[in-house]
Structure 1
Amino acid sequence: MIRLSQEHLQTIRAHAESTYPDECCGIILGYLASEGKTVVEVMPTENAWNTEAAAEFSGERTTESKRRQYAIAPEIMLKMQKEARDRSLNIIGIFHSHPDISAIPSECDRLYAWQGYSYIIVTVQNGKAGELQSWSLDDRHQFQTEAIENIKSDLV
Protein backbone atom coordinates (compact mmCIF):
# COMPACT_ATOMS: atom_id res chain seq x y z
CA MET A 1 0.00 0.00 0.00
CA ILE A 2 1.11 3.56 -0.68
CA ARG A 3 -0.31 6.41 1.39
CA LEU A 4 -0.34 9.97 0.03
CA SER A 5 -2.22 13.21 0.37
CA GLN A 6 -4.59 14.95 -2.01
CA GLU A 7 -1.87 17.59 -2.50
CA HIS A 8 0.58 14.90 -3.67
CA LEU A 9 -1.97 13.57 -6.13
CA GLN A 10 -2.64 17.10 -7.40
CA THR A 11 1.09 17.70 -7.94
CA ILE A 12 1.34 14.51 -10.00
CA ARG A 13 -1.74 15.36 -12.07
CA ALA A 14 -0.63 18.98 -12.66
CA HIS A 15 2.83 17.86 -13.82
CA ALA A 16 1.25 15.29 -16.15
CA GLU A 17 -1.01 17.90 -17.69
CA SER A 18 1.85 20.41 -18.07
CA THR A 19 4.00 18.01 -20.12
CA TYR A 20 1.21 16.63 -22.33
CA PRO A 21 1.47 15.20 -24.99
CA ASP A 22 4.80 13.92 -23.63
CA GLU A 23 5.13 11.65 -20.61
CA CYS A 24 5.97 13.34 -17.35
CA CYS A 25 8.00 11.77 -14.58
CA GLY A 26 9.09 12.39 -11.03
CA ILE A 27 10.43 10.94 -7.82
CA ILE A 28 8.44 10.01 -4.71
CA LEU A 29 10.10 10.48 -1.31
CA GLY A 30 8.81 9.02 1.91
CA TYR A 31 8.98 6.36 4.59
CA LEU A 32 8.92 2.58 4.39
CA ALA A 33 7.00 0.72 7.08
CA SER A 34 5.52 -2.74 7.55
CA GLU A 35 2.04 -1.42 6.70
CA GLY A 36 3.26 0.17 3.46
CA LYS A 37 4.83 3.34 2.15
CA THR A 38 3.97 6.87 3.24
CA VAL A 39 4.70 9.71 0.84
CA VAL A 40 6.25 12.88 2.22
CA GLU A 41 7.02 14.66 -1.05
CA VAL A 42 6.63 14.20 -4.80
CA MET A 43 9.33 15.82 -6.90
CA PRO A 44 8.47 16.48 -10.56
CA THR A 45 11.50 16.04 -12.83
CA GLU A 46 12.28 16.60 -16.47
CA ASN A 47 11.70 13.68 -18.83
CA ALA A 48 15.28 12.95 -19.91
CA TRP A 49 14.35 10.15 -22.34
CA ASN A 50 16.84 10.14 -25.17
CA THR A 51 16.43 7.66 -28.02
CA GLU A 52 20.17 7.42 -28.70
CA ALA A 53 21.06 6.92 -25.03
CA ALA A 54 18.39 4.24 -24.72
CA ALA A 55 19.90 2.41 -27.68
CA GLU A 56 23.34 2.49 -26.07
CA PHE A 57 21.92 1.23 -22.77
CA SER A 58 19.79 -1.57 -24.19
CA GLY A 59 21.69 -2.35 -27.38
CA GLU A 60 18.49 -1.87 -29.38
CA ARG A 61 17.39 0.98 -31.58
CA THR A 62 13.99 2.33 -30.74
CA THR A 63 11.75 4.86 -32.37
CA GLU A 64 10.02 5.60 -29.08
CA SER A 65 10.01 9.21 -27.97
CA LYS A 66 9.08 11.14 -24.85
CA ARG A 67 5.46 10.63 -25.90
CA ARG A 68 5.72 6.95 -24.98
CA GLN A 69 8.78 6.72 -22.72
CA TYR A 70 10.29 8.48 -19.77
CA ALA A 71 13.64 8.56 -18.02
CA ILE A 72 14.94 10.39 -14.99
CA ALA A 73 18.51 11.56 -15.50
CA PRO A 74 20.99 9.54 -13.40
CA GLU A 75 22.45 12.71 -11.86
CA ILE A 76 18.95 13.72 -10.69
CA MET A 77 18.38 10.28 -9.14
CA LEU A 78 21.74 10.51 -7.35
CA LYS A 79 21.01 14.04 -6.11
CA MET A 80 17.59 12.94 -4.83
CA GLN A 81 19.04 9.86 -3.12
CA LYS A 82 21.48 12.10 -1.24
CA GLU A 83 18.76 14.63 -0.37
CA ALA A 84 16.44 11.87 0.83
CA ARG A 85 19.19 10.37 3.00
CA ASP A 86 20.00 13.80 4.47
CA ARG A 87 16.32 14.16 5.42
CA SER A 88 16.07 10.57 6.80
CA LEU A 89 13.76 9.63 3.93
CA ASN A 90 13.88 7.10 1.09
CA ILE A 91 13.06 7.21 -2.56
CA ILE A 92 9.97 4.99 -2.40
CA GLY A 93 8.75 5.35 -5.94
CA ILE A 94 8.53 6.95 -9.33
CA PHE A 95 5.55 8.52 -11.04
CA HIS A 96 4.91 9.09 -14.71
CA SER A 97 2.09 9.70 -17.13
CA HIS A 98 0.62 7.80 -20.04
CA PRO A 99 -0.66 10.31 -22.62
CA ASP A 100 -3.86 9.12 -24.30
CA ILE A 101 -3.50 5.52 -23.07
CA SER A 102 -4.45 3.65 -19.90
CA ALA A 103 -2.57 3.80 -16.59
CA ILE A 104 -1.31 0.23 -17.07
CA PRO A 105 2.49 -0.30 -17.15
CA SER A 106 4.07 -0.95 -20.52
CA GLU A 107 6.65 -3.66 -21.15
CA CYS A 108 9.33 -0.96 -21.15
CA ASP A 109 8.04 0.28 -17.78
CA ARG A 110 8.44 -3.27 -16.44
CA LEU A 111 11.92 -3.79 -17.89
CA TYR A 112 13.29 -0.60 -16.32
CA ALA A 113 11.45 -0.93 -12.98
CA TRP A 114 13.14 -1.66 -9.66
CA GLN A 115 11.70 -3.92 -6.98
CA GLY A 116 10.66 -2.18 -3.79
CA TYR A 117 9.50 0.98 -5.56
CA SER A 118 5.94 2.07 -6.17
CA TYR A 119 5.16 3.16 -9.71
CA ILE A 120 2.29 5.60 -9.93
CA ILE A 121 0.93 6.07 -13.44
CA VAL A 122 -1.62 8.72 -14.37
CA THR A 123 -3.39 8.71 -17.70
CA VAL A 124 -3.78 12.03 -19.52
CA GLN A 125 -6.55 12.13 -22.11
CA ASN A 126 -6.53 15.16 -24.41
CA GLY A 127 -4.46 17.13 -21.90
CA LYS A 128 -6.59 16.32 -18.83
CA ALA A 129 -5.28 14.01 -16.08
CA GLY A 130 -7.60 11.11 -15.32
CA GLU A 131 -7.21 7.61 -13.89
CA LEU A 132 -4.29 7.13 -11.51
CA GLN A 133 -2.98 3.73 -10.37
CA SER A 134 -0.02 2.47 -8.37
CA TRP A 135 1.96 -0.64 -9.23
CA SER A 136 4.81 -2.61 -7.67
CA LEU A 137 6.90 -5.53 -8.87
CA ASP A 138 6.40 -9.02 -7.47
CA ASP A 139 9.11 -11.67 -7.04
CA ARG A 140 8.74 -12.66 -10.71
CA HIS A 141 9.36 -9.07 -11.87
CA GLN A 142 5.72 -8.67 -12.89
CA PHE A 143 3.66 -5.62 -11.98
CA GLN A 144 0.85 -6.00 -9.45
CA THR A 145 -1.61 -3.29 -8.52
CA GLU A 146 -0.91 -1.50 -5.27
CA ALA A 147 -3.58 0.05 -3.08
CA ILE A 148 -3.56 3.83 -2.75
CA GLU A 149 -4.74 5.38 0.51
CA ASN A 150 -5.43 9.11 0.75
CA ILE A 151 -4.16 10.73 3.90
CA LYS A 152 -4.46 14.20 5.36
CA SER A 153 -1.40 16.40 4.81
CA ASP A 154 -0.90 17.03 8.53
CA LEU A 155 -0.31 13.32 9.13
CA VAL A 156 2.89 13.36 7.10
Structure 2
Amino acid sequence: MLLKLNPEHLLLIRTHAASTYPEECCGIILGYLANESKTVVEVIPTENAWSGETLEDNKRRRYAIAPEIMLKIQKEARDRSLHIIGIYHSHPDNPAIPSESDRIQAWQEYSYIIVSVPNGKAGELKSWHLDGDRQFQEEEIEIA
Protein backbone atom coordinates (compact mmCIF):
# COMPACT_ATOMS: atom_id res chain seq x y z
CA MET A 1 0.00 0.00 0.00
CA LEU A 2 1.16 3.52 -0.81
CA LEU A 3 0.27 6.56 1.30
CA LYS A 4 0.38 9.91 -0.51
CA LEU A 5 0.82 13.09 1.57
CA ASN A 6 1.95 16.62 0.99
CA PRO A 7 4.65 18.45 2.97
CA GLU A 8 2.05 20.47 4.92
CA HIS A 9 0.50 17.27 6.28
CA LEU A 10 3.89 16.05 7.46
CA LEU A 11 4.68 19.40 9.06
CA LEU A 12 1.36 19.41 10.94
CA ILE A 13 1.96 15.88 12.29
CA ARG A 14 5.54 16.65 13.32
CA THR A 15 4.58 19.95 14.95
CA HIS A 16 1.73 18.32 16.88
CA ALA A 17 4.05 15.52 18.04
CA ALA A 18 6.71 17.94 19.31
CA SER A 19 4.12 20.16 21.03
CA THR A 20 2.69 17.33 23.16
CA TYR A 21 6.05 15.88 24.22
CA PRO A 22 6.59 14.01 26.55
CA GLU A 23 3.08 12.68 25.99
CA GLU A 24 1.89 10.96 22.83
CA CYS A 25 -0.09 13.00 20.35
CA CYS A 26 -2.78 11.57 18.08
CA GLY A 27 -4.95 12.57 15.19
CA ILE A 28 -7.13 11.44 12.32
CA ILE A 29 -6.22 11.28 8.64
CA LEU A 30 -8.90 11.91 6.00
CA GLY A 31 -8.60 11.16 2.32
CA TYR A 32 -9.43 8.99 -0.65
CA LEU A 33 -8.93 5.29 -1.24
CA ALA A 34 -7.72 4.04 -4.62
CA ASN A 35 -6.55 0.63 -5.85
CA GLU A 36 -3.24 0.28 -4.07
CA SER A 37 -2.94 3.75 -2.58
CA LYS A 38 -4.46 6.22 -0.17
CA THR A 39 -4.32 9.97 -0.76
CA VAL A 40 -4.35 12.23 2.28
CA VAL A 41 -6.59 15.30 2.00
CA GLU A 42 -6.64 16.49 5.60
CA VAL A 43 -4.89 15.78 8.90
CA ILE A 44 -6.91 16.54 12.03
CA PRO A 45 -5.07 16.78 15.36
CA THR A 46 -7.09 15.47 18.31
CA GLU A 47 -6.64 15.38 22.05
CA ASN A 48 -5.07 12.27 23.57
CA ALA A 49 -8.00 10.93 25.58
CA TRP A 50 -6.10 7.99 27.13
CA SER A 51 -6.98 7.54 30.80
CA GLY A 52 -4.66 4.80 32.05
CA GLU A 53 -4.00 4.56 35.75
CA THR A 54 -0.41 3.33 36.06
CA LEU A 55 2.95 4.83 35.13
CA GLU A 56 3.36 2.20 32.38
CA ASP A 57 -0.17 2.86 31.15
CA ASN A 58 -0.24 6.64 30.74
CA LYS A 59 -0.26 9.23 27.96
CA ARG A 60 3.52 8.98 27.63
CA ARG A 61 3.09 5.42 26.34
CA ARG A 62 -0.49 5.24 25.05
CA TYR A 63 -3.02 7.24 23.08
CA ALA A 64 -6.75 7.17 22.46
CA ILE A 65 -9.09 9.25 20.36
CA ALA A 66 -12.41 9.82 22.11
CA PRO A 67 -15.20 7.80 20.41
CA GLU A 68 -17.44 10.86 20.09
CA ILE A 69 -14.65 12.69 18.22
CA MET A 70 -14.15 9.73 15.86
CA LEU A 71 -17.89 9.62 15.16
CA LYS A 72 -18.13 13.38 14.61
CA ILE A 73 -15.19 13.41 12.20
CA GLN A 74 -16.48 10.30 10.41
CA LYS A 75 -19.83 12.02 9.79
CA GLU A 76 -18.14 15.23 8.61
CA ALA A 77 -15.87 13.23 6.29
CA ARG A 78 -18.82 11.36 4.80
CA ASP A 79 -20.59 14.69 4.13
CA ARG A 80 -17.49 15.74 2.16
CA SER A 81 -17.22 12.39 0.29
CA LEU A 82 -14.03 11.56 2.20
CA HIS A 83 -13.02 8.61 4.36
CA ILE A 84 -11.02 8.18 7.52
CA ILE A 85 -8.00 6.47 6.00
CA GLY A 86 -5.72 6.47 9.00
CA ILE A 87 -4.58 7.55 12.42
CA TYR A 88 -1.32 9.16 13.45
CA HIS A 89 0.41 9.26 16.80
CA SER A 90 3.82 9.86 18.30
CA HIS A 91 6.31 7.74 20.22
CA PRO A 92 8.11 10.02 22.68
CA ASP A 93 11.74 8.89 23.11
CA ASN A 94 11.00 5.68 21.16
CA PRO A 95 11.33 4.61 17.52
CA ALA A 96 8.57 5.01 14.91
CA ILE A 97 7.76 1.30 15.16
CA PRO A 98 4.34 0.03 16.29
CA SER A 99 4.07 -1.40 19.79
CA GLU A 100 2.03 -4.45 20.72
CA SER A 101 -0.58 -2.08 22.15
CA ASP A 102 -0.70 -0.29 18.77
CA ARG A 103 -1.24 -3.63 17.02
CA ILE A 104 -4.04 -4.74 19.35
CA GLN A 105 -5.97 -1.49 18.85
CA ALA A 106 -5.39 -1.22 15.08
CA TRP A 107 -7.98 -1.66 12.31
CA GLN A 108 -6.91 -3.35 9.09
CA GLU A 109 -8.30 -0.71 6.73
CA TYR A 110 -6.36 2.19 8.31
CA SER A 111 -2.85 3.47 7.80
CA TYR A 112 -0.98 4.25 11.02
CA ILE A 113 1.61 7.01 10.88
CA ILE A 114 4.01 7.01 13.80
CA VAL A 115 6.53 9.76 14.43
CA SER A 116 9.35 9.31 16.92
CA VAL A 117 10.03 12.28 19.19
CA PRO A 118 13.46 12.02 20.79
CA ASN A 119 14.06 14.71 23.40
CA GLY A 120 11.07 16.76 22.27
CA LYS A 121 12.02 17.05 18.59
CA ALA A 122 10.05 15.27 15.88
CA GLY A 123 12.23 12.66 14.22
CA GLU A 124 11.68 9.65 12.00
CA LEU A 125 8.18 9.20 10.59
CA LYS A 126 6.87 5.91 9.19
CA SER A 127 3.51 4.56 8.06
CA TRP A 128 2.18 1.08 8.78
CA HIS A 129 -0.83 -1.09 7.97
CA LEU A 130 -2.06 -4.45 9.25
CA ASP A 131 -1.77 -7.45 6.96
CA GLY A 132 -4.19 -10.41 6.85
CA ASP A 133 -2.43 -11.99 9.85
CA ARG A 134 -2.89 -8.78 11.91
CA GLN A 135 0.82 -7.97 11.77
CA PHE A 136 2.09 -4.50 10.91
CA GLN A 137 3.80 -3.99 7.58
CA GLU A 138 5.54 -0.77 6.68
CA GLU A 139 3.85 1.35 3.98
CA GLU A 140 5.61 3.40 1.39
CA ILE A 141 5.10 7.15 1.79
CA GLU A 142 5.01 9.39 -1.27
CA ILE A 143 5.35 13.12 -0.70
CA ALA A 144 3.52 15.02 -3.43
TM-score with structure 1 length normalisation? 0.89
Higher gyration radius (CA) = 1
Cα offset, 1:51, TM superposition: 1.3
Match of 2:89 in 1: 96
Name the SS of the counterpart of 1:120 in structure 2. strand
Give the counterpart letter for 1:29 in structure 2: L
Query: Match of 2:124?
Result: 131
Runs of 4+ residues over 3 Å off in structure 1: none
Q: Which amino acid aligns with 1:31?
A: Y
* CA RMSD of superposed structures (Å): 1.1
Counterpart mapping for 1:26-45 below 5 A: 26-45=27-46
1:119 corresponds to which letter in structure 2? Y
- Aligned equivalents of 1:7 and 1:102: distance in 2? 22
Counterpart code for 2:33: L
Instruction: Map Cα deviations across residues 90-129 of structure 1 (whole Å, 9 max, x no partner).
Output: 0000000000000000000000000110000000011100
Give the Cα separation in 1 of the matches to 2:34 and 2:55: 38
What are the within-5 Å matches in structure 2 for residues 46-125 of structure 1? 46-51=47-52, 63-125=56-118
> How far 1:11 moved relative to its partner?
0.2
CA displacement, residues 10-40 of structure 1 (integer Å, 9 cap, x when unaligned): 0000000010000000000000000300000
* 2:22 matched residue in structure 1: 21
1:49 aligned partner, one-letter code: W
User: Deviations for 1:36-95, whole angstroms, at most 9, x for unmatched residues?
Assistant: 00000000000000115xxxxxxxx88410000000000000001001000000000000
Counterpart CA distance in 2 for 1:62 and 1:126 is 19
Unaligned runs of 5+ in 1: 53-60, 152-156
Unaligned runs of 5+ in 2: none
Aligned length: 143
Q: Name the SS for the 1:130 alignment partner.
A: coil
- SS state at 1:49 partner: coil
Distance change in 2, residues 1:124/1:63 (3 Å): closer
Distance of 1:64 and 1:35 partners within structure 2: 35
